Structure 1
Amino acid sequence: MANVTITEVCPRDGFQSLPETIPTDEKVSYINRMIDCGFKQIEVTSFVHPKAVPQLKDASEVLEKINRPSGLKLRALIPNLKGLERAIEAKVNKVKLMLSATDSHSRHNANRTTFEAMNGFEPLVQRAADSPVHVGGSISVAFGCPYEGEVPIERHIEITKRYEQMGVTNISLADTTGMANPVKIKRVVNALREEFPHFHFSLHLHNTRGMAFANAVAGYEVGITDFDSAVAGLGGCPYAPNASGNIATEDLVHGFEEMGIETGVDLDRVIDAAKSLQHRFPEHSDSFILKAGKCSELHIAPKEQVKIGD
């Protein structure tokens, strides 16, 4: 069975959803704990305007203070050329472009249609080509839009062709509002991989309706080996109604490891980090492993059944 790579996105997708501002040094401490878990890639922050996402206004300072062990790739989300310049200056390894599959979500998220947003990507890709930073693309609400519903396969193909024309061949497919199911995951992924066999697709799954791990397994079964997740299940898109958190990293790692699929991540350290976040943000953290523990944690069996009544 093929191994999988898990990108930890709690420092960006998780923290940005919290109403309470996290002090920079505390944020750095949490991120360093995640780094110690053995992830190969972490999405640390987003270089958006401070008024848009106040929680991430310290993006540059965070990247300056966190540990940077050999072999770890740091990723950031960027909305425009200014964000890219900040990311280059902060020495991230990879930036991800922000894009919605539908015009309705795009107008709400970026104040422009999907392809108007893509037109703005061209100078970003050209600028990044002169830097060490790798550019990846994304398609948010890929498996269902809260305003338009089902996203046609033809729409995905058209968007991906535009990415291809720009030379962007690494694409994250995001179930932003948790509207996916295993059948839909397989249908979309199979169609895109057949049309673009040289592309590398990954999955960014939210657990809004409890389907995220089933969707991850479905993705794995059709060749996806890269997944995003967030420690303690933190997260949620501010531009998607009722979008709950990402699939919890501890749930994803535990599930894959139980199936014999290696993740390279230290599950016990992830759980410790998740418990710390749960203690700090109890109303915003949620995962099955935090509730039930690992399958390997056995209990002492009762000696006999205690009968109640006659």
Structure 2
Amino acid sequence: MELPKVIKINEVVLRDGLQLEKKILSVEEKTLLFNELQVAGVKSFEFGSFVHPKRVPQMATSGELFTNITNGNEDADLIALVPNLKGVEIAKSFAVKQVNFVFSASDTHNLQNVQSTTQESLEELRLIDNFCKVNDMLLDVTIATTFGCPFEGDISIERILTILESLSHFTVNNLTLADTTGMANPLQVHELLNEVFAAQPDLDVSLHFHNTRGLGLANILAAIQSGVTSFDTALGGLGGCPFAPGATGNVCTEDVVHMLHSMNIETTIDLDRLLEVSRLLERIIEHPNSGYIVKAGPYNRRYSIPSV
């Protein structure tokens, strides 16, 4: 098995992780999580989103949070999700330097999520691309429902390749393929990535998996074996899309880091410190998270032999 030496983790708990939580966290609570995650070695964050607060009220304080966490902080990549040009303009008003434009490969999901067809989102992207160039902002792009749509079912590889060809005309800093509702399996991941890299050998992609059906870690391993070295994860396995039936949490950051370290693959993250932040998260959200390692401990944990 050929494995990379290093994997990049982009932490999305502050955005994707919190957007389904019943409790709406304060800016102070979000800032505390950010600070502790940074101490644990996390260097890349999707910190929030600039969407209508009535649709995703958990994200209403994203601008204020950004102001808090950028005060003298130049050691982290801070990325804001945006659904349209208006979202990018709001991000710019808070001096955000990196945005992630998300649209779906599925027309039906895109209409549910951002009230636009996929083609309409691609036309919006042209405006966003021009705006980011003029304002010296980095533009990331995520294709949601890449591995399947809860309304339409399978998404063909040909459709994904056509969308990727359309994206080649824009200045994209980072491209992410997202399994929005956890429909992917390892063979599908391997086959899609083979086709993607055959069509565009120099394309650098990240992957975003959800653990809805328990296949998150297996899908990450399949992607690593196919040459991907960058992944979105969420502390505690929190999260899910508010506009997709059956959506549940992201693949869990501490479980991913544990798997990678067990395989002698480096990250920038201190697992012990990360587990402390995971326990802090449970106290803040007031319920247990779905991570395995925070409950069982790492594989090399040893116990005292019980006395007879």
Identity %: 38
Please state whether the residue corresponding to 1:121 is helix, strand or coil.
helix
**Quick one: distance in 2 between partners of 1:96 and 1:284?**
29
**Corresponding position of 1:80:** 84
AA partner of residue 166 (structure 2): R
Whether 1:173 aligns to 2:173 is no
- CA 1:25/1:280 → structure 2, altered by over 3 Å: closer, same or farther? closer
Distance, in Å, in 2 between the alignment partners of 1:66 and 1:15 is: 17
SS class of match (1:99): strand
Greater RCO (CA < 8 Å, at least 6 residues apart): 2
What residue in structure 2 maps to residue 150 of structure 1?
154
Q: Name the count of aligned residue pairs.
A: 304
Distance of 2:14 and 2:262 partners within structure 1: 26
1:234 aligns with 2:238: yes
Whether 2:7 is the aligned partner of 1:7: answer no
After superposition, residues 241-256 of structure 1 pair within 5 angstroms as 241-256=245-260
Structure 1, 34-43 or 153-162: larger mean CA deviation: 34-43
1:64 paired residue number = 67
Per-residue displacement from partner, 1:49-94 (whole Å, max 9, x unpaired)? 1112111111111011125543311011011222112222333342
Q: Deviations over 1:181-229 (max 9, x none)?
A: 1101111111111111222110111000110001001100011000010
8 Å Cα contact 2:185/2:215 also seen in 1:
yes
Give the structure-1-normalised TM-score: 0.94
Please say which of residues 76-85 and 208-217 is displaced more in the overlay. Answer: 76-85
Unaligned segments of structure 1, at least 5 residues: 305-310
- Is the Cα contact below 8 Å between 1:73 and 1:93 reproduced in 2? no
- Name the Cα RMSD after superposition: 1.5
Q: 1:26 aligns with which of 25, 29, 32?
A: 29
Q: Partner residue of 2:292?
A: 288
The residue type equivalent to 2:46 in the other structure is: E
Structure-2-length-normalised TM-score = 0.94
Measured at CA, do residues 208 and 16 of structure 1 come closer, stay the same or move farther in structure 2, by a change above 3 Å? same
Query: How far apart, in 1, do the equivalents of 2:261 and 2:220 lie?
Result: 13
- Deviation digits for residues 89-122 of structure 1, max 9, x if unmatched? 3333421111101111111111121111111111
Whole-Å Cα distance in 2 between the matches of residues 93 and 172 of structure 1?
18
Cα deviations by residue, 1:11-64 (Å, 9 ceiling, x for unpaired)? 000111112211111121112111222122110000111112111111111011
Instruction: Give the gaps of 5 or more residues in structure 2.
Output: none
SS at match of 1:86: helix
Give 1:264 deviation, angstroms: 1.2
Question: 2:288, 2:133 → 1: CA distance?
Answer: 38
* C-alpha contact 1:163 1:169 (8 A) present in aligned 2: no
In structure 1, the residue matched to 2:196 is 192
User: Counterpart of 2:28 in structure 1: which amino acid?
Assistant: D
Residue 2 (structure 1) shift: 2.8
Structure-2 change in CA distance of 1:90 and 1:225 (3 Å) = same
Task: Quote how far apart the aligned CAs of 1:167 are.
Answer: 3.0
CA separation in 2, counterparts of 1:2 and 1:172?
21
| Alpha-carbon distance, 1:283 to partner | 4.2
Matches within 5 A, 1:83-122: 83-122=87-126
**Aligned residues of 2:5 and 2:264 also touching (Cα < 8 A):** no
Quote the Cα distance in structure 2 between the aligned partners of 1:84 and 1:221: 35
CA deviation after TM superposition for structure 1 residue 169, in Å: 5.9
- Which residue of 2 is the match for residue 135 of structure 1? 139
8 Å contact kept, 2:46–2:80: yes
Partner Cα separation in structure 2 for residue 137 and residue 284 of structure 1: 32
Q: Distance in 1 between matches of 2:300 and 2:93?
A: 45
8 Å CA contact 2:23–2:285 kept in 1: the answer is no
